[in-house]
A and B are shown apart, each in its own frame.
Chain A
Amino acid sequence: MEQELAALTERLAALESASAMSGTINSEIFYWWCTALMIAIHAGFLAYEMGASRVKNVLASGIKNILAFAFMVPTFYFFGWYIYLAFYNGLIPAADGAAGLPWDLSMGPNLADNATGIFWAAFTLFAATTASIFSGAVIERIQTAGFLILAILLGSVVWILGGAWGWHPTGWLTVKFGYHDVGAAGVVHMVAGFFALGVLLNLGPRVGKFNPDGSANAILAHNIPFTITGLMLIIVGFFGFLGGCIIYMPGEQWINIYGQPTTLSAFAFNTLMGMAGGIIGAWVKTRDPFWMMSGALIGIFAAASGLDVYYPPVAFVLGTFGGFVVPMVAVQLERLGIDDAVGAFPVHGIGGLIGVVSCGIFAAGYPNIDGMPPVSLWGQIVGAVTMALLGFVPGFAASYVLKVFGLLRVPDHIQEKGLDIVKVPVSAYPESYTPGPVNVVTPAAAVAPAE
Chain B
Amino acid sequence: MNTSPIESWEGAEAVFTFADKPAILILFLLLAVAITAGTIIIAAVHEKHAYSSH
Q: How far is the CA of A222 from the CA of B26 in the complex (A)?
A: 47
Residues of B within 8 Å of A111, CB to CB, are 9, 12-13, 15
**Chain B residue with the shortest CB-CB distance to A148:** B40
Task: Give bound CA distance, A421 to B16, whole Å.
Answer: 44
A-B contact count (CB 8 A): 67
Residue of A nearest to B44 (CB): A145
A422 touches B54 (CB 8 A): yes
Whole-angstrom CA separation of A428 from B24 in the bound complex: 43
- B26: which of A103, A105, A113, A143 is its contact (CB, 8 Å)? A103
Q: Contact mask B12-54 → A, CB, 8 Å, 1/0? A: 1111100100100110010011001001110110110011001
Question: Which residues from A are CB-within-8-Å of B19?
Answer: 105, 108
The answer for the CA separation of A71 and B50 in the assembled complex, in Å, is: 22
B15 lies within 8 A of A110 (CB): yes
Residues of A within 8 Å of B, CB-based: how many? 29
With both beta carbons as reference points, the residue of chain A lying nearest to B16 in the complex is identified as A108
| A103 and B29 contacting across the interface, CB-CB below 8 Å | yes
In the assembled complex, which residues on chain A have CB atoms less than 8 Å from the CB atom of B33?
A: 74, 78
Are A110 and B44 in contact, CB atoms less than 8 angstroms apart? no
Whether A105 contacts B14 by the Cβ 8 Å rule is yes
**A148 x B50 contact (CB < 8 A):** no
Option from B29, B39, B46 in Cβ contact (under 8 Å) with A423 = B46
CB distance from A125 to the nearest CB of B (A): 18
Query: A414 at interface (Cβ–Cβ under 8 A)?
Result: yes
B25 contacts across to A, CB distance below 8 A: 103
- Asked if B47 contacts A75 (CB within 8 A), the reply is no
Known contacts: A103-B25, A103-B29. The answer to whether A144 contacts B14 by CB under 8 A is no
Q: Which of A75, A106, A411, A423 has the most CB of B within 10 A?
A: A423
Report whether B43 and A110 are in contact in the complex, using a CB–CB cutoff of 8 Å.
no
A110 to B, closest residue via Cβ = B14
With A414-B54, A423-B50 as known contacts, state yes or no: A145 contacts B36, CB within 8 Å.
no
CB distance from B33 to the nearest CB of A (A): 6
Chain B interface extent, by class: 20 to 34
Would you give the shortest CB distance from A416 to chain B, in whole angstroms?
10
A382 within 8 A of B: no
Instruction: Give the docked Cα–Cα distance between A112 and B15 (Å).
Output: 10
Docked pose: A75 CA to B51 CA in angstroms? 28
What residues of chain B lie closer than 8 Å to A78, measured between beta carbons?
29, 32-33, 36
Question: Which B residues lie within 8 Å of A413 (CB)?
Answer: 54
Q: In whole angstroms, how far apart are the Cα atoms of A422 and B50 in the complex?
A: 6
Residues of A within 8 A of B22 (CB): 103
Most buried by A among B9, B15, B22, B47: B47
User: Least Cβ distance of B45 to chain A in Å?
Assistant: 8
Q: A410 is contacted by which of B12, B43, B44, B51 (Cβ under 8 Å)?
A: B51
Q: Is the CB of A414 within 8 A of B29?
A: no
B26 to chain A, nearest CB (A): 6
Please, which residue of chain A has its CB at the minimum distance from the CB of B22?
Answer: A103
A423 vs B9: C-alpha distance when bound (angstroms):
50
Q: Distance in Å from the Cβ of B17 to the closest Cβ of chain A?
A: 8
Please name all residues of chain A whose beta carbon is closer than 8 Å to the beta carbon of B41 when the two chains form the complex.
Answer: 145
Chain B residue at minimal CB-CB distance from A407 = B44
In the complex, chain A residues whose CB is within 8 Å of the CB of B47: 143-145, 423
**Distance A112 CA – B9 CA, assembled complex (angstroms):** 12
Does A102 touch B at the CB level, under 8 Å?
yes
Q: Which of A67-103 contact B (CB under 8 A)?
A: 67, 71, 74-75, 78, 102-103
Report B-chain residues with C-beta under 8 Å of the C-beta of A335: none
CA–CA, A413 and B53, complex, Å: 12
Distance (whole angstroms) from the CB of B40 to the closest CB of chain A: 5
* A144-B43 CB under 8 A given contacts A74-B36, A109-B15, A110-B13: yes
Residue A149 at the chain B interface, CB threshold 8 Å:
yes
A102 to B13, CA, bound (A): 17
Q: What is the interface of chain A, defined by CB distance below 8 A to chain B?
A: 67, 71, 74-75, 78, 102-103, 105-106, 108-113, 143-146, 148-149, 407, 410-411, 413-414, 417, 422-423
Q: Which positions in B face A, CB cutoff 8 Å?
A: 9, 12-16, 19, 22, 25-26, 29, 32-33, 36, 39-41, 43-44, 46-47, 50-51, 54
